[in-house]
Chains A and B, each alone.
Chain A
Amino acid sequence: VTPVGGQSFDDMNLLSDDDFRGAVRRFVEANYPPQLRNQTRRLHWSENRVWYMALSAKGWLAPSWPREHGGMGLAAAKQLIMIEEFERHGCARISDMGPAMLGPLLIQHGSESQKAHFLPKILSGDHIWCQGYSEPNAGSDLAAVATTATLDGDSWVINGQKTWTTLANDANWIFVLARTDRQAKKQEGISFLLAPMDAPGITVRPIINLDLFDEFSEVFFDNVRIPADHLVGAVNQGWTITKAQLGFERVHIGSPRLSAYALARLRQIAERAGVWDDPAFRDRYVALEFDLADHKALYEIYAGRLKRGEPLGHDVSLLKLNQSELFQRIADFMLEIAGDEAGLLEPPEGDRALHAAGLFLLARPTTIFGGTSEILRNVISRNVLNLPN
């Protein structure tokens, strides 16, 4: 039913891909703060809040959530288009742990009262979430988490330490993987819990990364008590419910955007360094140019599978593996040609685009987070090539 005077049921899935892309593009151009374009590091909540709230007001904060929960109910292909348009414009990532990670998980596994309480607060920007997964001794081997949660009357009591918690210093809530059964097999004794960051016993200690930015923190839990109903899903089912990652995220993490950005910077820096016309430089540049074009072709294959609703398969790991290593090859080459400017702490002439050292450092963690390159090679050899254990 279309009421007089406008279209109230504006289901974006009904638009053609091109029309949808146009709508996203117009919205981004009209609403994204120009001074925040093309950032090379994550933005704190104080910086990205204005964009988060603009998306929230438009109803576009949670593309993947069903419409009944305040999301867009958008098909995977259109979610990808949305991300592509954000990237094209150079939009920074928002504080997205709530809309991107916790929300979909609550919708699938949360109780009715959890959904009713937490989902609206994500959409309103009242709750900013961080992800308490990694620990000092549980990185690639995440199932080794040692933080414990013990039921004591009507409370869970959490003890332990999380680390590499992205933007924990901005968050007012944290979702935590904690061990609730020490006897069970390591994947089968983990539960998923929600805790307010202002609960007594939680301490946050920021970690300064190689880019001299407080992107991560350690989060300490010292007898932190949370209500029993802050457990999501069943006890000891935490591993199972967190493992399933959304299809479009597995494709998006292999987006060619960073490498494309880096290759354009490589050219600028080469011109500045006076090697752009050097045939030895040119041969390596063209090799990287071809690598990027082929990566885009690989990306299109997986994006195409998403668009046609086909299953992705474990081989989607190839995409992130190639993207991160290509990004590093470009950034490494950039550092190699930049002369003594490679060692500069601040961008030459205040222009981030010319800062080889900045991009070089930005490229370091991409082969570590979201599955190290080594873990991805394990996944490919075991699950795609079926090599023996």
Chain B
Amino acid sequence: VLEYDDREQHIRIIRDSVEAVGPPGDLSRIRRLRFTETGFEAATWRTICNLGWPGLRLPEVRGGAGLGMTEFCALTEELGRRLVPEPLIEVAMAAEFLGDSDVERLLRGEFLVLPAWQEGPQASVRVEAAFRQGRLNGRKSFIPAAGGADGFVVLAREGPVLVRRTAPGVSLSLRATQDGGHYGELILQDAVGDPCFGDFTSALRSATLATAAYLLGVMEQAFAITLDYLRLRQQFGRPIGSFQALQHRAADLKLCIALTRASVEAAANLLDSAGPEVDQTTAVRRAKSRAGDAALRVAREAIQLHGAVGYTDEHDIGLYLRKAMTLANRYGSAHAHRAAHAIDRYAGGLS
């Protein structure tokens, strides 16, 4: 475990490095990529790989940087601030299951693999897909950024299986999402796949928490834009940010964000210190439900505080709302996480 100051220093360096994909204020690239086929840019993906982000948490023997969730969450938070559409969280999750040669290609940016685990709109690991005699059959849906993928780690009843996109029996269709990206739906009919190995629960937990951190960045930036607007926008001869009704709403949003940060950082810390499994699960559920609720609230309020201009596609604030709408329920909604916790913790009777 690194000393506190060293770790803070690391995290600062990681945060600073995200400038490589653009400053938080400039969303022209994000607008340009909206509703395109892949929804992201190959060139930026190469930059991301050159910076070593997909392998940030992989052990050094596997070509990674061997860092923890705290660092990864700091990174995804910065990506969220910029609404970066490149599927880092998903690729990093998939990397955990790949063999050494595939992982090497993935880290070089030559083989983009995404997890395909859901089979419906609810983030559930109950799966029907089957892998027998080297052949995959089933249907996977809600795969973010699937249009840019070279392969998928498909969760079958028998375990995770790597399948190439171009393999016979693999067909992919896309549905656009509010944030300008899309979900892929994968139909697998006797598709050839290679079994792979890894702890799916743990990988999913990490991706869930990283998404909560991404949402933290989304709300931080949406809030910053909104505060600027409150300071500048004049009505009745004064900046609207001088009105106490609006000031108190802003203070409440600040509290929402502070609680999300506390929750996300505490969960990341717990994962890094390898706390008991059940505590890790609870902490991540808490962080994701906090982040989902808070991101939607901050984004809704941001629109309201902008007034009519907030309802135009031209203004950037709407892009944050669309991102929050897309990510709030990804890896489980606030309600789903609370319900799952209630069942795990209390359904077996009084603990």
A residues touching B (Cβ–Cβ < 8 Å)? 271, 276, 279, 282-283, 285-287, 289-290, 293-295, 297-298, 300-301, 308, 315, 318, 321-322, 374, 376-378, 380-382, 384-389
Q: How far is the CA of A342 from the CA of B227 in the complex (A)?
A: 42
B213 to chain A, nearest CB (A): 14
A216 to chain B, nearest CB (A): 27
Q: Does B231 contact A (CB under 8 A)?
A: yes
Residue of B nearest to A308 (CB): B4
> Which has the most chain A C-beta neighbours within 10 Å: B230, B244, B259?
B259
Residue of B nearest to A376 (CB): B251
Whether A282 touches B259, Cβ cut-off 8 Å, given contacts A377-B252, A385-B250, A388-B239, is: no
Contact partners of B286 in chain A: CB under 8 A = 290, 293-294
CB 8 Å contact bits of B281-298 with A (1 = contact, 0 = none): 011011001100000000
Q: Does B346 contact A (CB under 8 A)?
A: yes
Q: How far is the CA of A312 from the CA of B27 in the complex (A)?
A: 34
Which of A298, A376, A389 contacts B262, CB < 8 Å? Answer: A298
Q: Are A290 and B338 in contact (CB under 8 A)?
A: yes
B229 to chain A, nearest CB (A): 11
Q: Are A387 and B338 in contact (CB under 8 A)?
A: no
Can you name 23 A-B residue pairings with CB atoms under 8 Å?
A283-B335, A283-B339, A286-B341, A289-B341, A290-B285, A290-B290, A293-B263, A294-B263, A297-B263, A297-B266, A298-B258, A300-B262, A318-B254, A321-B255, A377-B247, A378-B244, A378-B247, A380-B250, A380-B254, A385-B251, A386-B231, A387-B230, A388-B238
Q: How far is the CA of A377 from the CA of B254 in the complex (A)?
A: 10
Q: Does B241 contact A (CB under 8 A)?
A: yes
Which of B239, B255, B341, B350 contacts A318, CB < 8 Å? Answer: B255
Within 8 A of A (CB), among B77-134: none
Q: How far is the CA of A53 from the CA of B338 in the complex (A)?
A: 47
Q: Does B342 contact A (CB under 8 A)?
A: yes
Contact partners of A318 in chain B: CB under 8 A = 254-255, 258
Contact partners of A315 in chain B: CB under 8 A = 254, 258
Whether A387 touches B231, Cβ cut-off 8 Å, given contacts A283-B342, A287-B338, A297-B263, is: yes
Q: Are A387 and B241 in contact (CB under 8 A)?
A: yes
Q: Are B265 and A377 in contact (CB under 8 A)?
A: no
Within 8 A of A (CB), among B329-351: 335, 338-339, 341-342, 345-346, 350
The number of A-B residue pairs with CB atoms under 8 Å apart is 98
Q: Are B262 and A301 in contact (CB under 8 A)?
A: yes
Q: How far is the CA of A279 from the CA of B342 in the complex (A)?
A: 9
Q: Are B263 and A286 in contact (CB under 8 A)?
A: no
On chain B, which size bracket covers the interface?
35 or more
Contact partners of A321 in chain B: CB under 8 A = 251, 255
B41 to chain A, nearest CB (A): 35
Q: Does B173 contact A (CB under 8 A)?
A: no
Q: Are A385 and B254 in contact (CB under 8 A)?
A: yes
Q: How far is the CA of A380 from the CA of B257 in the complex (A)?
A: 13
B residues touching A (Cβ–Cβ < 8 Å)? 4, 227, 230-231, 238-239, 241-242, 244, 246-248, 250-252, 254-255, 258-259, 262-263, 265-266, 282-283, 285-286, 289-290, 335, 338-339, 341-342, 345-346, 350
Contact partners of B262 in chain A: CB under 8 A = 294, 297-298, 300-301
Q: Are A388 and B335 in contact (CB under 8 A)?
A: no
Q: A286-B339, A322-B255, A386-B227 are in contact. List 9 more A-B contacts (CB 8 A).
A: A283-B335, A283-B339, A290-B285, A290-B341, A298-B259, A318-B255, A377-B252, A387-B227, A388-B231
Q: How far is the CA of A290 from the CA of B334 in the complex (A)?
A: 11
B102 to chain A, nearest CB (A): 37
Q: Are A388 and B242 in contact (CB under 8 A)?
A: yes
Q: How far is the CA of A289 from the CA of B252 in the complex (A)?
A: 20
Contact partners of B285 in chain A: CB under 8 A = 290
Contact partners of A388 in chain B: CB under 8 A = 231, 238-239, 241-242
Q: How far is the CA of A309 from the CA of B338 in the complex (A)?
A: 36
A320 to chain B, nearest CB (A): 11
Q: How far is the CA of A271 from the CA of B242 in the complex (A)?
A: 47
Which of A282, A297, A376, A389 contacts B242, CB < 8 Å? Answer: A389
A331 to chain B, nearest CB (A): 19
Q: How far is the CA of A315 from the CA of B286 in the complex (A)?
A: 23
Whether A381 touches B251, Cβ cut-off 8 Å, given contacts A297-B265, A300-B266, A387-B230, is: yes
Q: How far is the CA of A79 from the CA of B341 in the complex (A)?
A: 35
Q: How far is the CA of A380 from the CA of B249 in the complex (A)?
A: 11
B328 to chain A, nearest CB (A): 16
